[in-house]
């Protein structure tokens, strides 16, 4: 496609495992002391600390226990010395033994509980010869590359995210194959037909469910060659191919609308004779318009320079973005 002469042949995107293109072709993360453990000794007086239990005093005489008004009552038998009995209020090692035993039993229970908890939470020891499964951040399935010439970019079903101007045309100055190009303006149209010329081409974009058309204009280092690069987002590869083929021939009536810049060079875009053409990359249609600043009809050698500038500006901008979409189906 182009003017004049036969259109340039563009090689399609090839997966990394495919054969490389021919030379020169391009595709555009213890209790306290003093007290027992249960409180004060009940035999203690208010005048001093508690004392250990003493043997009972000698029994009192019977006459001391008789009441004068009750002569008929017999005297109480003499008291016998009582043997000391253990009391929880006694001090000394004997009184603390039950506490020590209880505390020891509690410690065993606590230690056993901790041990069981650690055993339950520990990972099973892998058997010899068995590899541990690799850790994964997510169990979500990883999508497979659909394959084919254009991978994820073959269809909008596998490449759903819209293109962005900064994704495609991210740098103002770009270089390809030793030649530099300066971007002077860019634009995104949601009405795709506003970015082209020709009724057939507009109908093909509408039929192909075009959702966006991105354009940017460039000038070469000399300022003599100027042009516009565009990319349309279609639903399928077939729709993109149809858009790219509309109006092919020596004299084109269906072509990309040039996008004039505000600078003193690219403001002339759209006037005079131009090299115009297009090709597809999956569900994207890529189109170009390149001309000389003064708009003169290019000679055969000049057509080659226009062709080189058109493919150079495209391969420095659109091509890397679309190849990334082919590999991932996502924004880079």
Give pLDDT < 70 ranges for the chain: 1-143, 248-251
Sole residue written with tokens 């399935």:
141
Going by C-beta distance under 8 Å and a sequence separation of 6 or more, which residues neighbour residue 196? 202, 205, 213, 254, 255, 256, 257, 287
Tell me the pTM. 0.59
The Cα 213–Cα 230 span in angstroms is 7
Give the per-residue pLDDT at 146: 81
Q: Helix 318-328 crosses helix 300-315 at what angle (to 10 degrees)?
A: 40
Is there a contact between 287 and 244 (Cβ–Cβ < 8 Å)?
Answer: yes
Nearest residue to 241 (alpha-carbon basis) of 23, 30, 67, 10: 10
Is there a contact between 183 and 173 (Cβ–Cβ < 8 Å)?
Answer: yes
Is there a contact between 306 and 298 (Cβ–Cβ < 8 Å)?
Answer: yes
Is there a contact between 185 and 215 (Cβ–Cβ < 8 Å)?
Answer: no
Positive or negative: CA dihedral 315, 317, 321, 324: positive
Going by C-beta distance under 8 Å and a sequence separation of 6 or more, which residues neighbour residue 219? 181, 182, 184, 225, 226, 261, 263, 265, 266
Nearest residue to 207 (alpha-carbon basis) of 234, 230, 233, 245: 234
Give the per-residue pLDDT at 313: 97
Per-residue CA distances from 264 to 73, 166, 219 (Å): 141, 24, 11
The Cα 89–Cα 312 span in angstroms is 101
């Amino acid at each position: 496609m182009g003017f004049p002469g036969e259109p340039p042949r563009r090689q399609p995107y090839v997966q990394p495992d495919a054969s490389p293109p021919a030379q020169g072709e391009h595709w555009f993360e213890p209790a306290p002391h003093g007290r027992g453990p249960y409180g004060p000794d009940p035999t203690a007086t208010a005048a001093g600390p508690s004392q250990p239990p003493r043997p009972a005093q000698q029994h009192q005489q019977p006459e001391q226990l008789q009441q004068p008004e009750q002569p008929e009552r017999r005297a109480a038998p003499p008291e016998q010395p009582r043997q000391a009995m253990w009391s929880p209020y006694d001090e000394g090692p004997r009184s603390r033994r039950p506490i020590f035993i209880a505390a020891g039993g509690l410690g065993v229970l606590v230690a056993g509980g901790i041990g069981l908890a650690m055993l339950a939470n520990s990972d099973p020891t892998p058997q010899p010869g068995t590899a541990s499964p690799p850790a994964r951040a997510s169990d979500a399935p990883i999508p497979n590359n659909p394959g084919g010439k254009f991978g994820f970019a073959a269809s909008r079903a596998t490449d759903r995210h819209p293109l962005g101007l900064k994704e495609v045309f991210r740098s103002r100055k770009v270089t390809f194959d030793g030649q530099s190009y300066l971007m002077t303006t860019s634009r995104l149209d949601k009405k795709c037909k506003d970015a082209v010329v020709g009724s057939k081409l507009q109908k093909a974009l509408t039929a192909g469910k075009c959702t966006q058309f991105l354009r940017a204009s460039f000038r070469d280092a000399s300022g003599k060659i100027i042009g516009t690069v565009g990319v349309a987002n279609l639903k399928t590869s077939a729709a993109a191919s149809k858009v790219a083929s509309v109006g092919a021939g020596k004299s084109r009536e269906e072509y990309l609308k040039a996008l004039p810049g505000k600078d003193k060079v690219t403001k002339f875009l759209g006037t005079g004779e131009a090299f115009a053409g297009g090709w597809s990359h999956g569900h994207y249609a890529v189109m170009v318009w390149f001309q000389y600043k003064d708009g003169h009809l290019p000679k055969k050698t000049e057509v080659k320079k226009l062709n080189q500038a058109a493919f150079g500006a495209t391969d420095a901008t659109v091509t890397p973005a679309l190849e990334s979409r082919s590999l991932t189906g996502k924004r880079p």
